Amino acid sequence: MAEPKTQTGSVEMIRHLKVARDTAVKSRSQAMITLKTLIINAPTELRESIDLIKGKMALVRTIAAFRPGPMISTTASAKAAMRALARRWIVLNEEILAFDKDLKALTDATAPGLKSAHGFGTVITAEMLIQVGDDPSRIRSEAALAKLCGVCPIPVSSGKTNRFRLNRGGNRQANAALYRVAIVRMKTHAPTRAYVRKRTIEGKSKKEIIRCLKRYIVREIFNCLCRPKTSSNSV
């Protein structure tokens, strides 16, 4: 069983920033969804003028500069509501960019090896560091990390048929991060694409192949984040 995480190092700093970033990302998405809904339902003349604007940033900045005027028409109220949402989106976007900058610096310093692996960006690396914690030695084995991430296979064999299914347990955010890495590699990583072709010929389904890939990715994460320190401690 894994030991409790410590909360005193760089990974805890990453966790703090990522929690705030995730909240900002959700709020930014909601602001954009609501803004688009208002645009669709805006008065015809206003909607047609907005439709001429190309590009998301141009659209947001144009709406943020609206001057609604007195609240005496639906056009004025629509402009006021849209302007508030556009300005909110801009503030949240700048906040997220600031968090990304800080997270990049921290993840580059904390896990340069994992960060350089195919498919691992700042956010996914941060998620896996949070899962492992500041003391990687608390995770005793690769299998323990796989269980924490919900990618250890569950046998569903019947008779002479040996099969495994996806694990629905573990940390779902970590599991989702592994899924994103697997999908990126299936599209752009030559060794992974070759592996997928081989497994497909063998009769594996896409879900089964992704399950296998996530397990291999966990091994890579364990070697990058856990094994170096545990091995150095044992010398």
- Residue 176 is which amino acid? A
- Residue 28 is which amino acid? R
Question: 146, 178 in Cβ contact below 8 A?
Answer: no
Quick one: 201 exposed, middle or buried, by C-beta within 10 A (0-12, 13-18, 19+)?
Answer: exposed
**pLDDT tens, position by position, 20-62:** 999 999 999 999 999 999 999 999 999 999 999 999 999 999 9
Looking up tokens 């929690």 gives 19
Output the 3-class SS for 52-119: CCCCHHHHHHHHHCCCCCCCCCHHHHHHHHHHHHHHHHHHHHHHHHHHHHHHHHHHHHHCHHHHCCCC
d(CA 92, CA 31): 9
Share of the chain above pLDDT 70, in %: 86
Nearest to 214 by CA among 155, 162, 161, 148: 148
- pLDDT greater than 60 at residue 226: yes
How many other CB atoms are there within 10 angstroms of residue 167's CB atom? Answer: 18
Domain definitions of the chain by residue range = 1-110, 112-235
Q: Look up residue 185 and give its DSSP letter.
A: H
d(CA 10, CA 129): 9
* pLDDT value at residue 227: 72
Q: In which band, very low, low, confident or very high, does the pLDDT at 163 lie, cut at 50, 70 and 90?
A: low
* pLDDT value at residue 143: 86
Distance of CA 209 to the CA centre of its chain: 21
Q: In Å, what is the CA distance from 171 to each residue of 150, 231, 232?
A: 6, 26, 28
* pLDDT value at residue 230: 39
Lowest mean pLDDT among 10-19, 59-68, 73-82, 171-180: 171-180
Sequence-distant (≥ 6) Cβ neighbours of residue 78 within 8 angstroms: 38, 42, 43, 46
